[in-house]
Amino acid sequence: MPNRLLPKHIILVRHGESEGNKDPSAYTTTPDHKISLTEHGRAQARLAGSRLRDLISTNGSSQGWRVYFYVSPYERTRSTLREIGKSFSKKRVIGVREECRIREQDFGNFQVEERMRITKETREKFGRFFYRFPEGESAADVFDRVSSFLESLWRDIDLNRLNNDPSQELNLIIISHGLASRVFLMKWFKWTVEQFEQLYNPGNCEIRVMELGPSGEYSLAIHHTDEELREWGLSPEMIEDQKWRIKANKTDLHDQCKSYLNSFFDQKLDSDEDVKEGDIVSDNEFEDVKEDMDSDNESKDL
């Protein structure tokens, strides 16, 4: 697909400061999806809108740029979009879509402070990605629905469901939440669970810009500095990968996966002849192991 049909920027924006960010006790009486922005949060969103407009208008190659918004259905994200929208004239906005799959991680219903504190301590021991909140979701659950959203996003682009004129430069702005933004990047750049565990949430109204490079691949390193990427929790290897993507092509991306294979396969075994016969379990050995397992199971039954 020609590069000109791809969005110039895919920008992730976390909502502004909310009442829950300011005072966690708000979650004990107000449903998470109804938590609103503070006055400071609204001011943050207006400033973010100005920065987004300046970023898109100055970093683009076309004066005919347009934006398309995706927004989480929560009150704080919708309010953030309303404030951001004050920086864009109607002719610049080609569409807005409320998207439930990029909503906040579900922590359960009303959140009792002391119980939530203990639960989060348990999450640190268990692992942030796989720990599922009682009556809620794990980060892995959020990953699944964000992955589904990403597939729909690509179909929207491929089929031009966004109704974008190819002569105009398209920019996608996704207004969501901290965890949803992290798993979006994890899915996009194929980061591992271990790499995800190192990442930090973006701040309120913090902007993370994926920009299209000359090779047709997106990178965080075009707009953001090494220092910013380190502050987000990216390792030196992840930062180098972002720089490499600026000029990488599809074939290069496939070849890079070979380095990931090294974590699981012995690189000394270059051919079938290198696989020693002694390392292969024989049929007789397999039967012996199977008999031992069957005997253990019989003992347990007794």
Q: Report the catalytic residues.
A: 15, 104
Residues ≥6 apart with Cβ < 8 Å to 207: 11, 12, 13, 48, 51, 52, 55
Q: In what side-by-side order are the strands of the sheet with 93-98?
A: 93-98, 66-71, 170-176, 9-14, 207-212, 218-219
Instruction: Give the side-chain half-sphere CA count within 13 A for 297.
Output: 6
User: What is the rounded distance in angstroms from the CA atom of residue 44 to the CA atom of residue 49?
Assistant: 9
The answer to whether 18 is a known ligand-binding residue is: yes
**Do the annotations mark residue 98 as ligand-binding?**
no
- Whether 9 has a binding-site annotation, put simply, is no
Which regions of 181-227 does DSSP assign to beta strands (E)? 207-212, 218-219
Q: Which segments of 52-116 are extended strands (E)?
A: 66-71, 93-98
Is residue 123 annotated as involved in ligand binding? no
155 CB-contact burial (10 Å; exposed 0-12 / middle 13-18 / buried 19+): exposed
Q: With DSSP H G I counted as helix, E B as strand and the rest as coil, what are the percentages for the chain, rounded to 5?
A: 55, 10, 35
Q: Residue written as tokens 């006055």?
A: 39
User: Quick one: which H or E segment has residue 149?
Assistant: helix 139-158
Cβ-based neighbour number of residue 3 at 10 Å: 12
Q: Is 15 a known ligand-binding residue?
A: yes
20 is in an annotated binding site: yes
The reply, when asked if residue 203 is annotated as ligand binding, is: no
Yes or no: say if 72 and 104 are a contact pair by the CB < 8 Å rule.
yes
Cα→Cα distances 173→56, 265, 283, Å: 11, 40, 58
Annotated binding site for substrate: 14-21, 76
Annotated binding site: 14-21, 76
